[in-house]
């Protein structure tokens, strides 16, 4: 079973229904907030995905989770992301793909090692399965795009998807930042407002859709995010594989 350890944290795959319920409870806390009370964030994709858990070694406390769904290009319509983005261009992608979703870190735990060990686990999964593209929805908290204009301006300026893979609009409510924004981004402010998961994708050479979906059910704005494994800079690959062991 895939597992690794870094510092105070270890990763493993969910093995039991209780493991998956713990992940769903953490997702509910992260996406709905503490004021939403106890509950589970669950959907039909949970039963077909593999779930990764990041736990504190000493206490066993769950501090991070995400799920993955391996696909081929011709199966792209089965992905979670395909509910929100028109992804027919990616049906032509020639290699194995994996969708990473529902990534979240406990809001009360601030430790960069959590993100590092999660990416280490993902790196090992990618290497073990010969994955050539990683994709998913990267979420900004809340649905007010005005809070993130510098971040969206930076995405427009530097990180739009290659035209051959560009997702088209499908969701009923979107923010077309690539069309609407004319501002130069404040780089420092943009990076401060960029979600940590998306920031990591971008550092590895990832790209995004030209619009954000307004997802009121999840209380997020999200962009489709793709990362071709062959495009990751060699130095970054060495760092990730160093964590992956």
Give yes or no for residue 243 having a pLDDT over 80: no
Instruction: For 32-46, give one letter per residue: b (16+ CB within 10 A) or e.
Output: eeeeeeeeebeeebb
CA 50 to chain centre: 14
Q: What is the helix (H) or strand (E) element at residue 115, kind and residue range?
A: helix 112-129
Read off the pLDDT of each residue in 87-107 and give the average, rounded to a whole number. Answer: 95
**Tokens at 216, concatenated:** 């009121």
pLDDT at 2: 64
Q: What is the DSSP letter of 44?
A: G
pLDDT band at 38 (very low <50, low <70, confident <90, very high): confident
DSSP for 134-149, please give it. EEEEEEEESS-GGGGH
Give yes or no for residue 242 having a pLDDT over 90: no
pLDDT tens per residue across span 169-193: 999 999 999 999 999 999 999 999 9
pLDDT at 241: 80
Number of domains, the chain: 1
Percent of the chain with pLDDT over 70: 97
**How does the average pLDDT of the chain come out, rounded?**
93
pLDDT at 132: 97
Of 11-20, 25-34, 38-47, 98-107, the poorest mean pLDDT is in 25-34
pLDDT tens per residue across span 207-229: 999 999 999 988 899 999 999 99
- Is the separation of the CB atoms in 101 and 69 below 8 Å? yes
pTM here is: 0.92
**Three-class SS of residue 5?**
strand
Give the residue, 222 or 36, on which the prediction is more confident: 222
pLDDT tens per residue across span 128-143: 999 999 999 999 999 9
Give yes or no for residue 1 having a pLDDT over 70: no
In the block, tokens 């979107």 appear at 174
* In the chain, beta strands by DSSP E: 4-6, 9-13, 50-56, 62-71, 85-86, 97-105, 133-141, 168-169, 174-175, 207-208, 212-215, 220-228
Q: Could you give the CA distance from residue 96 to residue 235 in angstroms, rounded to a whole number?
A: 23
Give yes or no for residue 163 having a pLDDT over 80: yes
pLDDT at 78: 96
Give yes or no for residue 33 having a pLDDT over 60: yes
Distances (CA, A) of 85 to 27, 169, 196: 22, 6, 22
Give the residue, 243 or 168, on which the prediction is more confident: 168
**Three-class SS of residue 160?**
strand
pLDDT at 7: 80
| Crossing angle of the two packed helices 234-244 and 112-129, in degrees rounded to 10 | 100
Q: Could you give the CA distance from residue 40 to residue 43 in angstroms, rounded to a whole number?
A: 10
- Residue-number span of the structural domain to which 142 is assigned: 4-244
Read off the pLDDT of each residue in 26-37 and give the average, rounded to a whole number. Answer: 84
CATH code of the domain covering residue 101: 3.40.630.30
| Crossing angle of the two packed helices 196-203 and 112-129, in degrees rounded to 10 | 50
Candidates 169, 157, 154; CA nearest to 214 is: 169
């Amino acid at each position: 079973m895939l597992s690794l350890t870094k510092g105070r944290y270890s990763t493993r795959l969910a093995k039991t229904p209780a493991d998956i319920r713990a992940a769903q409870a953490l997702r509910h806390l992260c996406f709905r907030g503490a004021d939403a009370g106890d509950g589970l964030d669950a959907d039909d994709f949970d039963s077909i995905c593999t779930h990764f858990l990041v736990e504190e070694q000493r206490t066993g406390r769950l501090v991070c989770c995400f799920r993955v769904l391996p696909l081929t290009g011709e199966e792209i319509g089965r992905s979670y992301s395909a509910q929100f983005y028109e992804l027919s261009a990616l049906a032509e992608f020639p290699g194995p793909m994996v969708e990473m979703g529902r990534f979240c870190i406990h809001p009360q735990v601030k430790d960069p090692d959590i993100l590092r060990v999660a990416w280490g686990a993902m790196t090992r999964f990618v290497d073990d399965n010969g994955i050539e593209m990683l994709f998913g929805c990267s979420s900004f908290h809340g649905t007010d795009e005005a809070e993130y204009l510098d971040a969206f301006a930076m995405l427009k300026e530097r990180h739009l998807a290659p035209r051959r893979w560009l997702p088209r609009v499908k969701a009923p409510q979107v923010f077309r930042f690539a069309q609407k924004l004319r501002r130069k981004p404040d780089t420092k402010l943009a990076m401060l407002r960029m979600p940590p998961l998306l920031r990591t994708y971008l550092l590895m050479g990832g790209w995004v859709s030209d619009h954000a979906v307004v997802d009121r059910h999840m209380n997020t704005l999200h962009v489709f995010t793709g990362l071709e494994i062959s495009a990751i800079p060699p130095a970054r690959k060495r760092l990730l594989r160093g964590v992956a062991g």
